[in-house]
A and B are shown apart, each in its own frame.
Chain A
């Protein structure tokens, strides 16, 4: 029997404003507890909220990126979500309920079977709660209100994903997008980007099953593991003839399992109503136009353009656009090139350069190699000055700040040997001293050829032009 997993995600992206959603309090992470909670944040009697324009602007930016002007509600309403908890100072959270600032839109993800659109239900502005610290004090709980009031954009998807892998692809694409348009730093360890997953299962073709919501998944790996565990759990219950109870579940990373937090019956009645302290949020056409004019080219548009303009595969195009810095670097290199094709640039950036950044734990902004300098390096492969293998060595030198490609080639004596006579002499010597491999090759063992190439390259410290080496070797062995 075939089962289908149905997933929808609710994502909280912390908006990258300096001050809070409804107060002037600082949003900087990591300050000592309660030092960044002002009178409004701790809900002293008499204080009032004032909406942060920068947060609203970021929400509009998001709307424009996922659906254009048509998904921006010109009038949205802040509402109070009422419940008691010590880290919720007012006894209610200011959020948006019936009229969110963004309604609709979509995120396009790349799956094994091609591109897929995940529809968005809505995105709304709200404030974060504080943090309860249950372990730090014996018989007591500590409350840290630094986070209280931090601006969040809650992005709600339709239940359009059908596997944990799709959910992860969606989360990653969304994560890349919010950083791309500069509305969220995406720091998952600090909680700037966290997901709740609504998971249900059904037999193929059946109506939607009862869903469970898994809370607070703050890494892509946990998201994947939690969905996989949860789907398996639900399928097993149904197979045994049981019923799924609608509930909120918590993922325990240590035990790699989800467990029940509260059932629907225990759910709060939040008693939403429009916040009378805040006027409806009115967004003018002019403001939308201004924000739109400042919006960078979006990853999806870039991906399409790379495929048509540079003839890259969808896969390469998507690798290059996972961050804005990488895409912009790619374009800069392409613009500065004399010789090689964009495909070569793409291979280098997604291959050797990405590996180098990974090893060193840095990103494009910290890379010491300008796009122009990188283009020069690739040009030196193309014009035969160095081989691709030697170029890797030069690249590391450049990343160490040893100078540009030409300087390193000269300093280290890496210039490629393209003098046919010189290469021939070395080939002769190698053939003479490796009679066994020559014999093997002639007996039809292709592997022996690679070994002979290796010997030649070794003898030239890798500087021999590999194309020429191949050609001369083949000729001599045939002759």
Chain B
């Protein structure tokens, strides 16, 4: 059961081979056994989960089921969840219990899924290693000395370690895809606007997008069916007809044009990752796809542009955490300004403070044009690169991350090295395009390598088709980390 696909779990529940309560207990026990070492979850509340599981069992008994009814799903602690603690990995929200559910949570609740717990993450999703969490770093199930990637590292580790059959994450610059790659699972960042951001605590509003992490593309399709959809409460939510993301899974890949950007295979890409990705491209060719060399000439500007835009938006988005209405407030202060200063200095960790400072600086009078405005122009250039590319290919494929997982602490002191982890994933966020990562082999120290697939706007069904066909021909996604030390 721990290794079963969502389709198999759904069938088992429908056929009463297992109840939702039993299934939920199974995963809760797994969490209990492994979380002490992996630290993938910030909050687990068996009673609440089991109450939902019982309700799901009643639904199943009545025959009123949907594909996710009764299936436990772990949620990144960035989605506010009614009556659950929602911390966003931060001390400043260490006491915050949300009075409302995020749209994504509503969707899963509506589908009858069970909330298995809230997963650990980089504080306010700012990081690529899940080390910046106030609740301690997450360990990579493939090797506990390594980071699982971030910021959705708790969700990725939970799926990799079979503590959860599926999880949600958010991706601002690669925060679903990079941990999926480093933890050997599948993850999808949908087109900007496809999944409502209502109730998803904002990091950088114009880049943030929620999406699923799971063991396979097929599972991702099922999860995306639940997550996607118009929400009038999010002005950037896109109003379009609902689609079944599974509908193209079984299409053969014959004639598929795969764009391979030379910029993503140059300096900085580790040899082991390059070899695994190269092998995956060959595998796709075997399946009938055609390789098309493409260029993304402005790709190199994406990291600097991102580190202007994302901190700028974050500096403003995080202003609401001021100790006035909710969350942490400093115990002692002299006056209002001192209350703000102490509350925010105590409540935010170093990386969050760094980004607030960068963001405040680039938006300041006299610097706005030189930084923010210029970064927005670069953003347009990067989007235009993809428009050109998609005239010649159906999907863009390359490595998700330049290296396999690095050791905990290895890059903590060098933010630029840390930021370069997302060099291949950031362009999709800047352009608003969908991107995904699927396992495609192993590199140094037997750590997983991720294959990055970027599609055109709203082409999730096609991307999932490519990924599913690849996963039918390979078994990288079925490998599970051995010997996790409890």
Contact = CB atoms under 8 A, between A and B. Distances in A.
A binds B: yes
A51 B365 CA distance: 27
B340 A271 contact: no
A269 B325 contact: no
B237 to A, nearest CB: 9
A256 B420 CA distance: 61
Contacts of A143: 324
Contact of B198 (A46, A51, A80, A278): A46
A277 B205 contact: yes
Contacts of B102: 46
Contacts of A47: 198-199
A89 interface: yes
A348 B360 CA distance: 63
Contacts of A276: 204-206, 236, 313
A289 to B, nearest CB: 24
Contacts of B313: 273, 276
B368 interface: yes
A229 interface: no
Nearest to B234: A48
Interface stretch (B263-271, B274-282, B314-322, B404-412): B314-322
Q: Which of A45, A89, A276 has the most CB of B within 10 A?
A: A45
Given A39-B100, A84-B319, A45 B93 contact: yes
Interface residues on A, range: 20 to 34
B320 A90 contact: yes
A45 B208 CA distance: 14
A348 B204 CA distance: 64
Contact of B235 (A43, A50, A84, A269): A50
Interface residues of B, number: 44
Query: Does more than half of chain B's interface fall in helix, strand or loop, or is it mixed?
Result: loop
Interface string A29-52: 000000000010011111111110
Nearest to B313: A276
Given A45-B98, A45-B320, A91-B320, A273 B372 contact: yes
A182 to B, nearest CB: 26
B322 A91 contact: yes
Q: Which of B232, B322, B340 has the most CB of A within 10 A?
A: B322
B205 A271 contact: no
Contacts of A89: 320, 324-325
Contacts of A269: 364-365
Interface string A91-102: 110000000000
B326 to A, nearest CB: 7
Given A80-B316, A82-B316, A89-B325, A49 B368 contact: no
A279 interface: yes
Interface string A68-94: 000000000000101010100111100
B396 interface: no
B363 interface: yes
Query: Does more than half of chain A's interface fall in helix, strand or loop, or is it mixed?
Result: loop
A269 B364 CA distance: 7
Contacts of A50: 232-235
Nearest to A81: B316
B96 interface: yes
Nearest to B324: A86
A42 B98 CA distance: 13
A44 B316 contact: no
Contacts of B200: 46
A51 B235 contact: yes
B368 to A, nearest CB: 7
Contacts of B79: 46
A143 B324 CA distance: 9
Contact of B233 (A48, A90, A278): A48
B146 to A, nearest CB: 30
A50 B315 CA distance: 21
A54 to B, nearest CB: 15
A39 B199 CA distance: 10
Contacts of A46: 79-80, 98, 102, 197-202
Given A273-B312, A277-B202, 11 more contacts: A43-B325, A46-B200, A46-B201, A48-B234, A50-B232, A50-B235, A82-B315, A84-B340, A90-B320, A276-B313, A278-B235
Interface of B: 79-80, 86, 88, 93, 96, 98-100, 102, 197-202, 204-206, 232-236, 312-313, 315-316, 318-322, 324-326, 336, 340, 360, 363-365, 368, 372
Interface of A: 39, 42-51, 80, 82, 84, 86, 89-92, 143, 269, 271-273, 276-279
15 contacts: A43-B320, A44-B80, A44-B326, A45-B96, A48-B198, A50-B232, A51-B235, A82-B315, A82-B363, A84-B322, A90-B320, A92-B316, A271-B316, A273-B316, A276-B313
